Structure 1
Amino acid sequence: MAVVLLTSRLIFDVSRDARTATVAVRNKGERPLLVQVSVLDQQGGTKTAFVATPALMRLEGDTEQKVTVRRVKDDLPADRESAFQFKAKVIPPKGSGEAETTLAIPFFYRPANLAGDPAATPGRLSTNQEDGKLTLANPTPFFVTLASLSVGEDVLDIGDSAPIAPLGGTVSYALPSDTTGDVVWTAIGDSGDITPSYRQ
């Protein structure tokens, strides 16, 4: 794909006095392209507390532009993170015969003064195996996105798993029959890196 987002996730971190968040958009191709950006809620709606500017830009070939995300409403929970999606729609030149494409990355709003260290959050998940299911629960105020999950020798297919919601959010997976052993998982950190393994 000619256009790429130069980050795999976006954190609007008020605890670091952030007033905006930025995303770099790059056109690796040779032709100019139009790119339209927006912030969506978890249901795909565009009426959120954020606005991305410039909302529509022309990217010349082999160029890069930064998009700024600003908060325009103060109606988000202060005791937990909120999850959104940053979306970029790539519009090819008219008459090219090419279809529009869409890029999307997770976007998390992090209020100030949340208890705990976000980097330590994946290690605080609790696990429960019952009735052929494995359930992971998140007691922290931060979202957790799993990168891998296994029980004993069995690696579970988590697909493109949605982040586990804060303050009691859970996610469950079916277990293969006769599965035994420790639950081992990794998660995706703020910068898109994979955390060390955690075990219960």
Structure 2
Amino acid sequence: MKNSRISRVILLALAAAWSQCSPAAVNVDRTRIIMDAPQKTVAITLNNDDKTTPFLAQSWVTDADGVRTDALMALPPLQRIDAGQKSQVRITQVRGLTDKLPQDRETLFWFNVRGVPPKPEDDNVLQLAMQSQLKLFYRPKAIIRSSNDQPERKLTAERNAGHLTLRNPTPYYITVAWLGADRSHRLSGFREGVMVPPLGNLPLKAVLPAETRTLWVGYIDDYGGLQMNRYTCDALNCEFKDAGATS
């Protein structure tokens, strides 16, 4: 009995490790979702990348805290996708509820999709359901932007005892994936993928030496691409001055 319990613990540990590094069988056709207020629905394509096994795809939307929401609904919530095939799920807004969201800034949600494999015939086979989670931004009518807008460049970085605080004066979430004195070396203390809330600030542990006068800021755009921009720094602040290149 003791050996059986030990074996089960080992199996569960291996399963957890495998689930963290193994790609999901059911994948989404993008890395983030933008929903403008006038849109009734947004269609998302789900791909079953397993060439031999059909999967059930379970989809749902949660708020920023991970609580299921009725303001945005994923339809259908459950569907079968055959091996190597694709299907669609539609994110649909419930007007009476989205009208109650802040109208002067974006609201963050999460789109979740879980791929559930068929039940194994062998009871001793461990079955794992792989789950993906994407950022879903609801954008009210007052702040809908054109494809040429780059409000992220209004982001500033404030020096404070050697560390940086990111200040976001825009109504959009800004995901910063890179901070470096150049395009090759990340600042000490910066971890990839921080998100600065609309009209908010985010203190960081990132260290920018006092003598450094250039800061490269890389943010993720609406299409999931990394946009690199060069900032000029003085003793107190770093601000965008000229156009950088997209990488």
Q: Give the TM-score taking structure 1 as reference length.
A: 0.89
Measured after TM superposition, the shift of residue 61 of structure 1 is 0.5
Specify which of 226, 232, 236 is matched with residue 194 of structure 1. Answer: 226
Matched, 1:122 2:155: no
Q: Which whole-Å CA distance do the structure 2 matches of 1:99 and 1:134 have between them?
A: 41
Aligned to 1:137: 167
Measured after TM superposition, the shift of residue 113 of structure 1 is 2.2
Q: Is the 8 A contact 1:121 1:144 kept in 2?
A: no
Point out 4+ residue stretches in structure 1 off by more than 3 angstroms.
115-119, 151-154, 175-180
Letter in 2 for 1:189: D
Specify which of 105, 120, 129 is matched with residue 100 of structure 1. Answer: 129
Q: Report matched runs for 1:106-185 at 5 Å.
A: 106-114=135-143, 119-151=149-181, 155-156=186-187, 157-161=190-194, 163-167=195-199, 169-176=200-207, 178=209, 180-181=211-212, 182-185=214-217
Query: CA offsets per residue over residues 173-195 of structure 1, 9 Å max, x none?
Result: 22448453122201111111112
Q: Which whole-Å CA distance do the structure 1 matches of 2:70 and 2:196 have between them?
A: 21
Aligned to 1:18: 39
Which consecutive unaligned segments of at least 5 residues does structure 2 have?
A: 1-22, 233-247
Measured after TM superposition, the shift of residue 133 of structure 1 is 1.6
Q: Which whole-Å CA distance do the structure 2 matches of 1:177 and 1:127 have between them?
A: 10
Measured after TM superposition, the shift of residue 197 of structure 1 is 1.4
Residue 25 of structure 1: SS of its match in structure 2?
Answer: strand
Aligned to 2:16: none
Identity %: 28
Q: Is the 8 A contact 2:26 2:114 kept in 1?
A: no
Q: Give the TM-score taking structure 2 as reference length.
A: 0.73
Which has the larger share of helix? 2
Q: Is the 8 A contact 1:122 1:186 kept in 2?
A: no
Which consecutive unaligned segments of at least 5 residues does structure 1 have?
A: none
CA 78–178 in structure 1, closer or farther in 2 if over 3 Å, else same:
closer
Aligned to 1:3: 26
Q: Which whole-Å CA distance do the structure 1 matches of 2:26 and 2:224 have between them?
A: 19
Q: Report matched runs for 1:22-37 at 5 Å.
A: 22-29=43-50, 30-37=52-59
Letter in 2 for 1:143: Y
Aligned residue pairs: how many? Answer: 196
Q: Which whole-Å CA distance do the structure 1 matches of 2:127 and 2:203 have between them?
A: 40
Q: Is the 8 A contact 2:104 2:171 kept in 1?
A: yes
Specify which of 103, 109, 117 is matched with residue 84 of structure 1. Answer: 109
Q: Is the 8 A contact 1:151 1:179 kept in 2?
A: no
CA RMSD of aligned residues (A): 2.0
Measured after TM superposition, the shift of residue 70 of structure 1 is 0.9
Matched, 1:57 2:89: no
Residue 104 of structure 1: SS of its match in structure 2?
Answer: strand
